[in-house]
Structure 1
Amino acid sequence: MSRGPQSPPPFRPHRVVVLALDGLLPFELGIPHRIFGRPKDAHGRPLYEVVTCSVRPPGPVETDADFAVHVPHGPEALATADTVIVPASYELGPVHDEGVLTEELAAALARIRPGTRLASICTGVYVLAAAGVLDGRPATTHWADAGRLQRMFPRIRVDPDVLFIDDGDVLTSAGVAAGIDLCLHMVRRDHGTAGANEGARRTGVPPHRDGGQAQYIERPVPDPQQATTTAARAWALGRLHDPIQLRDMAAREALWVRTFPRRFREEVGVSPGQWLTQQRVERARHLLECSDLSVDQVARDAGFGTAQSMRQHLQAALGVTPTAYRRTFRAAAVGA
């Protein structure tokens, strides 16, 4: 007996629950609402629902500023989350100096369903660390706090140089604005580059920042006559489809080939080769989503040369093949 066409499942936005803890930093609290509150599907429906909760019943939560915020949901909201985000709190927040959660916070976190995506902004990482979910994993936080995090939780592989780390179901970011980078990345992972780029434009920030935290660590002010790598990067971005040699980039800044990589890493946080690969991966993603070019042509235009080379780089960076990536994100990009 044949059955007629089945109705699609009812639409339900992805629910992001933001956990507001005493001593929270208001700026970080607002980041998830700003980034996830914007994206819509082709029918104008919000792709995300963002709610804020506390470890206590609804009411005021103290901030590190001269005001409190009223949080409308209690810890029961955590049980409804598809993603839980823990923004920064002053110092360790509700984590004891010995790296142990308060009983109140531990009880709240126990409500989170298995398989829920977890993310932290800046020192919110201490909550995830004390909960044990980062053991054996890579994680990051603000560069000034990375040493303490590593000492308190030696089982975590702390990387102080990156803006954020995506370890699948657990993501962590560096401080303040890196929380924007992390949330845009999650939108990009969920719905493709076009959605993240639109969110970035509406927020007035770049959709993808180069490099890592190394570029923000305070250093002696350089000599105004000292060369930088800005012109070399701009030159390279204009010809990603061509082979680019280290000596070519160094020549744009009149630097020795031995000097250029050190200067580049100081400014950008990664090596020239790593940076070029990042830019080519982003270029390939854009073309796979927003063009009808064949995979071979995308590989050439992005500078990978061959489809096999691009496949290897996308697999390493994104965990998917070019064909699978296009199949996932192409329809959303063209508004299908």
Structure 2
Amino acid sequence: MEAAIDVVRRHGGTCRTRDLREVGHYPRSIASAVAAGSIERARVGHFMAPDLAANAKRAIRVGGRIACASAAEILGLRVLNPSHVLHIEVGEHGSRFRRARDGKGRILPTTSRKHFEFHWAGTGAPEGALPSIVEVLTQAIDCLPPLDALCMIDSAREDVPWIGAAPKLSVAEFEQLLNGLSERGRELARRSTTLSQAVGETVARERLREAGIVARPQVGLPGDYFADLLIGDRLVFECEGYSAHGTSDAFESDRERMALLRACGYIVLNFSHKQILGDWESVLSTVQFVMRRGLHLFHPE
């Protein structure tokens, strides 16, 4: 007989009592598996894997599965504004929702908006504990502010050659994403890039675009360096997080890089993640000041 946990995993991390019974499990063996901790009882008639993320378990207890921004965090995508509510995907006709902490009691979607954001899916209950990355991004584009969704898409597509890690979203999956979106959604997704490495880079690139400024990501520079963003010919826009310069070696390497670029005629503007997200007006005015003087071009007209 197939182990109860194997049945749960085969169904994507969560299953119903009937799925266990189909392979020969009945109340006694199910109760033994729960008592042994190999599976967990989510709510009446539903079970889940014990190693699921806490929020994924909460969503299953309620009566659906984790979705949108909440699922994006589990998938390791960069999130601009972490959600204060739990996003849950539920069946179109779902109505019997339970408490997230224990899968008991009853809750109503209309009276629980302080804690949950419901995504109403197709006619049946969603399968598995976690939606696919394409489904998560589709939900984000439909649900979140455009900039928040764009940060997630950039994160999913990140494929810079010097890191060597495969992107979370493949080229084929990106095409699948585009094909399932509205025209507005496709226009947003097409503004994404495979070359963004941080939320600050995405935010800066998009806000510069809104100001009519073209900023190209990860452009090669002298010394085998790359600009986070390059404006014009020589204005290097750097998005700096604290962790990137937290060691003496990183600090020294950064000083060496800045000296070489300035010696080669580049203008380098360094902005912190906090400045880009919280003081954009000052950041933009600095960039515009440099551009008005023509310093972003090697040969101003």
The question of a shared fold, defined as TM-score above 0.5 by the shorter chain, is answered with no
Largest Rg, 1 or 2: 2
TM-score by length of 1: 0.28
Name the one with the larger strand percent: 2
TM-score by length of 2: 0.31
